[in-house]
A and B are shown apart, each in its own frame.
Chain A
Amino acid sequence: MKIELSIKRRPRELPYSNIIVPMGSIIISLIVSDILLVLSGVDPMVFFIVLADSFLSFSSIRYAIPLILSGVGLAIAYKANVWNIGAEGQILAGALAASGVALFYIPPDMNPVTAAVVLYVIGFSAGAGLGLLAGILKARFNVNEVLSTLMLNYILMQIVNYLVYGPWRGVREYGYPRTDIFPDNVWLPQLIIGDMRTTVNIPTLAISLIIPFLMYFLLFKTKWGYEIRVVGSNPNAAEYGGINTGKVIALTMIISGGLAGIAGVGEVLGIYRQLIRAERVSAGFGYTAIIVAWLGKLNPIGALIAGYFIGVLVSAGYTLQIISRISYGAINVVTGILLLSLISLDFISKYKPIVKVVR
């Protein structure tokens, strides 16, 4: 006797798979996380208590902001089948450009609102420019965008570190690798609840709440969104219909790079108020945002929800790091499993496994 496993494409996707698949993978990854924690000697309930706590904490929102912004951008790029893995570098580009301008060009008497607008635009442009570079390389020369965006991540990281260790190192920072604190007219205001100051900065929070809806509209109601979706689902049909694929690639790279750039601005102007080491500015958000995009099923509003959830997870992760001896690396294990189970469960919603017993 032998068991044969075969599969058949379902005539329709499983109903509610848009909800079941993300939920299922979250549950799987939470269980695995808890097992990992138990293995390192933590009480199994601690994890869930910390998680429940994080759901209502401002630090979750603080992490959710860059994750949502970058994640929504990546969702747009992935929808066009453009594999931007460069949000990390694009966040850094935004942070770097905004820091440079804030330090050296913004006059101390400039109106804070004007300054904020200028710096957001600068950050957006820097991120978008970096994205566009990879976009052009892909559209014109078919250079693999996964590799080019990755390489740019590393390059940006080294440049930021070079600056904070070298020419931009602050004179009032006792030799620490970071720039001087920015003048306070460029500080983005942080949310204050009662007399508690949170690390949530209001303008970037507002942007990250508006952008998903804007991008949803762009993707599903406008002609550009139509082009993006056609290019992503069938590039041959796109060419057939006269859609300029190169333009679509460039557009999605500008959007995703730009949104990551804004996230970078939010980090340096809204939280640190100075440029610090690259590893701490972006802190892997650019990579985690890939999960946000997928968990949201490449839907911008889905990414908003997913971004918040991952924000909770990241915040819980930091808390756990403190109360247990689990290293930051453990978080990578969990996010990896989350992403893997996402695409594996997707399979079940599209294909029906058939088990046959062969005599």
Chain B
Amino acid sequence: MSRGTTPQNLFFNQEYREALAYMKDISKSFYGNKALNNVSFNLRKGEIHVILGENGAGKTTLVKILAGLYSPDSGEIFLEGKKVNIESTRDAIKYGIAMVNQYPQLVEELTVADNISLSLNNVGLFNQTSKIGDKIIEISERYGFRIQPWKEIMNLSFSERQRVEIIKAIMLDAKVIIMDEPTTLLTTKERRLIYQFMKKAKADERGIILITHKLSEALEIADRITVLRKGKVVDTVDVSEATYEKLMEMMFGRTVAIHEKILKRGLGETTSRRVLEISDLSVKDNYGRLAVNGISFHIHKGEIYGIAGIAGNGQIELVEALYGLRKPVKGDIKIMGKNYWEYSKKEIKRIIGYIPDKIQDAVVLDMPIYENSILKLYDTSEYIRNRFIIDYDRAIEYSSQLIKNYYIAAEGPDVYAGYLSGGNLQKLVLAREISIDPPLIVAVNPTRALDHFSTEFVYETLYKFKETGKAVLLISEDKDEVLRLSDRISVMYEGRLIEMGRREDVDVDLMEEYMIRGQNED
């Protein structure tokens, strides 16, 4: 193995030779969709380098390549001037690269100690995993995390899981620490402690890559900021040169006024008939634990009801019970004034348009778009000829319409759903669900994978839908999204709802506080 003397190396300027990590001309595509297009990025010793970009810009893909989770289609990686081949997480760990994942990547059935020990090379295969318990407790206490090493991951909340990821990264003692949106779910105090950790690591000549979508956070903590847009680097700037406005423009192309358009519109009428009425509903999760604990609320016609909350607080179980995928243990659901059980299973699917959190559960990836577009209508008189034959011509025509009206980037209705990008998959489901024209739409994180333009489009679509006198239940991890769209708002925490009232009455700081810590804690 020859190190560091390949011809290209000689032409590096000083900057790159000294870079802790230098990613050169990286490209990566999924199913033919380019997620990264010739991206170059470098991380200096002793810096906090923030990557900014809207959803789907390719931030996670870029750092996953550095962390060995994806392999690039082309491009090279240099660590301290040496070309390296990172084929797996194991290689990355060997080179001193650790990553805190955006969505915790932990094994549910294993304990915290089991999970972390899997990353640590100094725990041998024939060692007990419990041997690192003390160390976990120590770190956890230092950062105020209160994580118990012998607890199984399935018994931890989403934010606790993220803390486990952070502890893992700390224990790996890495030179390059990648944090993919780690602070979203932390309390202010915890966030401060993480900032401290990052600053200390910086002083130790380590490098930190921080992905965030909070501009204020970027401006506060970063040394340099790289902005990605649609898989390309817009620019890398020093934080001293960066302003809020300038970053906005880099991210979206032109300065856009978010949080404005829809807020100004009038609120829906709240006196009219109730579309959905839930009283004292309790639902268990897959492990038989009470995930939804005696919830009551209702939604009127022409109203968007927003439930904000961090993942794993019972939202999924709530909507699954509502949509008939999960049996509640107690409580009542009324839709359009009728009791839930008066509807057949099929009817429920048609009076509720449902955009689930895991969008892959709502589509069949190895079927063409036109077959996916009739998933809920295939046995209705509209698509059935001669009692049991499906009218595929009509399905093709219908799906062409959806593709056109909802700006789905696909060559035609016979493209397989599996070849669509995340954002277009999301739009396909939205298009299908709205087109059924149900009285109620349940949307869970409907814009997670979407870029700015598509997000606006989804908001617009949901808003128009409500204005026709329909109801929307919006469930989201993104408090801004909830604040922007909803007429009435509540926060879900550990299976209970905390009513925040009408939007204009909501105390935003309190809402954030409730999302992270609930109502009762000090």
Contacts and interface: CB of A to CB of B under 8 A. Distances in A.
B13 interface: no
Contacts, number: 75
B388 A224 contact: yes
B366 interface: yes
B366 A242 contact: no
A15 interface: no
A241 B378 CA distance: 9
B388 to A, nearest CB: 5
Interface in B93-111: none
B361 interface: yes
B38 to A, nearest CB: 18
Interface string A212-241: 000000000111101101100110110111
B16 to A, nearest CB: 20
Contact of B375 (A8, A224, A230): A230
A4 B363 contact: no
Contact of A240 (B71, B85, B87, B362): B362
A280 interface: no
B90 interface: no
A359 interface: yes
A239 B354 CA distance: 12
B279 to A, nearest CB: 25
B85 A236 contact: no
A244 B346 CA distance: 9
A332 to B, nearest CB: 32
B417 to A, nearest CB: 10
A221 B325 contact: no
B1 A242 contact: no
Interface string B347-381: 01110001010101111111100010001101100
Given A240-B325, A358-B85, A359-B2, A11 B390 contact: no
Given A6-B71, A241-B349, A223 B379 contact: yes
Contact of B361 (A11, A221, A236, A242): A236
A241 B380 CA distance: 12
A356 B1 CA distance: 15
A9 B346 CA distance: 35
Given A6-B87, A234-B365, A359-B2, A11 B388 contact: no
B390 A226 contact: yes
Contacts of B388: 222-224
Interface in B368-415: 371, 375-376, 378-379, 384, 388-390, 392
B375 A241 contact: yes
B361 A226 contact: no
B459 to A, nearest CB: 24
Interface in B414-437: 419
B1 A239 contact: no
B371 A226 contact: yes
B32 interface: yes
Contacts of B379: 223
A241 B375 CA distance: 6
B367 A233 contact: yes
B126 interface: no
A234 B417 CA distance: 12
Contacts of B323: 240
Given A233-B366, A233-B367, A240 B375 contact: yes
B315 to A, nearest CB: 17
B287 interface: no
Chain B interface size band reads 35 or more
B453 interface: no
B385 to A, nearest CB: 10
B148 to A, nearest CB: 32
A45 B350 CA distance: 64
A242 B384 CA distance: 17
A233 B87 contact: no
Contacts of B364: 229-230, 233-234, 237
B11 interface: no
B319 to A, nearest CB: 12
Contacts of A221: 389-390, 392
A229 B371 CA distance: 10
Q: Is the interface of B mostly helix, strand, loop or mixed?
A: loop
Given A230-B375, A233-B366, A240-B361, A222 B390 contact: yes
A222 B389 contact: yes
A358 to B, nearest CB: 5
Contacts of B246: none
Contacts of B2: 359
A9 B31 contact: yes
A241 B324 CA distance: 11
Contacts of B376: 241-242
Nearest to A4: B87
Interface in B1-20: 1-2
Nearest to A356: B85
A255 B1 CA distance: 61
B375 A237 contact: yes
Contacts of A242: 345-346, 348-350, 376
A241 B73 CA distance: 37
Nearest to B350: A242
Contacts of B31: 9, 11
Contacts of A229: 364, 367
Interface in A306-359: 356, 358-359
A224 B387 CA distance: 11
A230 B390 contact: no
B361 to A, nearest CB: 4
B386 to A, nearest CB: 9
B514 to A, nearest CB: 31
A227 B361 CA distance: 15
Given A6-B87, A221-B390, A222-B388, A240 B367 contact: no
A1 B92 CA distance: 19
B71 A223 contact: no
B1 A359 contact: yes
B390 A240 contact: no
A47 B323 CA distance: 60
Contacts of A223: 378-379, 384, 388-390
Contacts of B375: 230, 237, 240-241
Among A222, A241, A244, the one with the most B-chain Cβ atoms within 10 Å of its Cβ is A241
Given A221-B389, A230-B364, A240-B325, A11 B87 contact: no
Nearest to B377: A241
Contacts of B371: 226
A294 to B, nearest CB: 17
A240 B361 CA distance: 7
B57 to A, nearest CB: 21
Q: Closest 10 A-B residue pairs measured CB to CB?
A: A11-B32, A242-B349, A236-B361, A241-B375, A242-B346, A234-B364, A233-B364, A223-B379, A222-B388, A11-B31
Interface of B: 1-2, 29, 31-32, 71, 73, 85, 87, 323, 325, 345-346, 348-350, 354, 356, 358, 360-367, 371, 375-376, 378-379, 384, 388-390, 392, 419
7 contacts: A6-B87, A12-B419, A222-B389, A226-B390, A229-B367, A233-B366, A240-B362
Given A240-B323, A358-B85, A359-B2, 19 more contacts: A4-B85, A6-B71, A8-B73, A11-B31, A221-B389, A222-B388, A227-B378, A229-B367, A230-B364, A230-B367, A234-B364, A234-B365, A237-B362, A240-B325, A240-B349, A241-B349, A242-B345, A242-B350, A356-B85
